Structure 1
């Protein structure tokens, strides 16, 4: 890589994307660039926010591959036979796993009731209580935190394991990823402090020990790059098929839309024709996969409101810099 171009890239990152902690670029599975910022190193884990959703998508796919879940069209309430539906509620009974995965399930709230939710003892049941209502199934409604936890509940019910145990057995350990354990908050203050801590580890869980699905996972930039490479290689890792090619293809194509943005199964579709997709998390956390150029870019970032668009950084600066490298 041209040293002058490298200095230019890092100048742009330091000036316009100054909450960046780490960037890794892989092409054809080979590392072309790895650098860390703001005092971070390769050993540091970061909270990747909504990138967690795409990891849950992988776990749902593995659960289907292994027969724990029959198919994507199963009704959500079928996984929760003990859940009592309130009188007169019909919409919730027709919501499927696919509706949840494509963010096309309706909810009863206009704005997410964070305080009530996080102070409850069971985040999955609280999410089920908010599912349904008068909205229409099939209309895109992105739910950042409240709602995706139902998917964690489904994984627990279907597999009989915790989400972290299932993920460790069938995904993380195979890729050499270490997620140390559950992080449980006793109050709001602990949660807010955790958001600001420099080196966080583990996976957030509710008081029942059910891991979050919409946020709360911590990874290193290399962990993120490995996940991107797994998908670029159609589910293969060191001659082992970890997840089916069929699930990867299906989950990374458009199933719903939000304005000009396309959505798969908890993956954002950047370009359906070129087959470019990404896991995107608040603050500028990204796993970016360009299947045509055989490139993976992972960016881990510190939380920052209204962080500058990392896809623009990748497409305008990073991709052109590395696309002709072998």
Structure 2
């Protein structure tokens, strides 16, 4: 890589994307660039926000591969037989795992999601089940940035008989050399806010029932994120072992639904684009995979409001120098 261009890139990152903590670039299977910012090192871990969704997608795929889940056409409520559907909400009995994975399940909340009630609830899965339905139609894209996909964590626990982190460690993290060490339970709002700015906590957030969050709460290093991207670029193969089926990799990274307002195609908890796909989270956290160029770019960042567009950073400033 051109060192002059690299220096220019780092100046742009410092000036326009100053919340970035680390970047890893893997080209043709080899690390071609690795750089840390804001006093971070290769061991620094930050909250990756909605990139967590794509990790959950991988775990659903592994559960399918291993036969814990029959298929994604199964009804969600099959996994919660004790759940009592309210009168007038019978329609939610038709919501499938596919609807959850493609963000085409309807919810009762509109523009103002009940975030405070969610965070203070002891059971995020039941809280999300209670919000399924409403006036929206099943099959129409409805992005759930926080509340809702925790249902998938609940399904993983019911299907596998293991906590999500234990299942992930055994079947995904440990084979890739990724360490996620602790279950994180917040006792206060202040603890959660501090977590969002932390650079050295290794873990995954749980609710009071011990269920791991599906759309946030996981901390990883930039190299951890890059490994996930490379696993997918390899068709689910890692060091000669098939971690996840190539079919799930392919199926989860092609368009199944579309956010019409933003004209953004969506797979199974992965964003899809003309060159490949990406896992994206608040603050500019991203695992970007360009299948045409055999390229993986991971960017970790601390949360700031209205963070700079990392796709623009990649397309305009990173890809041209590779």
**TM-score per shorter chain, which class?**
over 0.9
Contact 2:28 2:294 in 1 (8 A): yes
Q: Partners of 1:183 and 1:59 in 2: how far apart?
A: 19
Residues in 1 aligned to 2:91 and 2:264: alpha-carbon distance in whole angstroms: 26
Supply the distance in 2 between the matched residues of 1:166 and 1:41 (Cα, whole angstroms): 28
* CA deviations over 1:8-44 (Å, ceiling 9, x no partner): 1111111111111000110111000000011111000
Task: Summarize the alignment of residues 75-90 of structure 1 with structure 2, pairs less than 5 Å apart.
Answer: 75-90=75-90
* Paired residues of 1:53 and 1:214 also in contact (CA < 8 A): yes
Instruction: Indicate if the aligned counterparts of 1:278 and 1:289 stay in contact, CA closer than 8 A.
Output: yes
Residue number in structure 2 paired with 1:114: 115
Which is further off, 136-145 or 42-51? 136-145
C-alpha distance in structure 1 between counterparts of 2:132 and 2:191, whole Å: 27
1:19 aligns with 19
Match for residue 265 of structure 2 among 258, 262, 275 = 262
1:157 aligned to 2:158? yes
How far 1:5 sits from its partner (Å)? 1.0
| 2:47–2:195 Cα contact (<8 Å) kept | no
Post-superposition shift, 1:113?
0.5
RMSD value, Cα: 0.9
Question: Following superposition of structure 1 onto structure 2, how do residues 166-181 of structure 1 map, counting pairs within 5 Å?
Answer: 166-181=167-182
Deviation at 1:187, TM superposition (A): 2.2
Deviation of 1:317 after TM superposition, in Å, equals 1.4
Deviations 1:119-177 (A, max 9, x none): 11111011101111221011111111110100000000000000000000000000000
1:197: how far off?
2.5
- Aligned partners of 1:127, 1:180: CA distance in 2, in Å? 26
1:44 aligned partner: 44
- Structure 2 contact 179–202 (Cα < 8 Å) conserved: no
**Retained in 2: the 8 A contact 1:91–1:134?**
no
Q: For 1:93-104, list aligned pairs within 5 A.
A: 93-104=93-104
The answer as to whether partners of 1:92 and 1:133 remain within 8 angstroms in 2 is: no
Taking the aligned partners of 1:120 and 1:313, their CA distance within structure 2 comes to: 37
Aligned to 1:283, the other structure's residue is in SS state helix
C-alpha offsets along residues 168-200 of structure 1, whole Å, 9 cap, x if unaligned?
Answer: 000000000000111001122221222122322
Contact 1:54-1:267 within 8 A present in 2 as well: yes
- TM-score in terms of structure 1 length: 0.96
Structure 1 unaligned blocks of 5 or more: none
Aligned to 1:212: 213
Segment of structure 1 superposing worse, 309-318 or 237-246: 309-318
- State the TM-score, normalizing by the size of structure 2: 0.98
Paired residues, number: 319
**2:47 and 2:220 in contact (8 A); partners too:** yes
Distance 1:139 1:203 in 2: 30
The runs of 5 or more residues in structure 2 that have no matched partner are: none
Q: Which runs of 4+ in 1 moved over 4 A?
A: none
Instruction: Say which SS state the counterpart of residue 277 (structure 1) adopts.
Output: strand
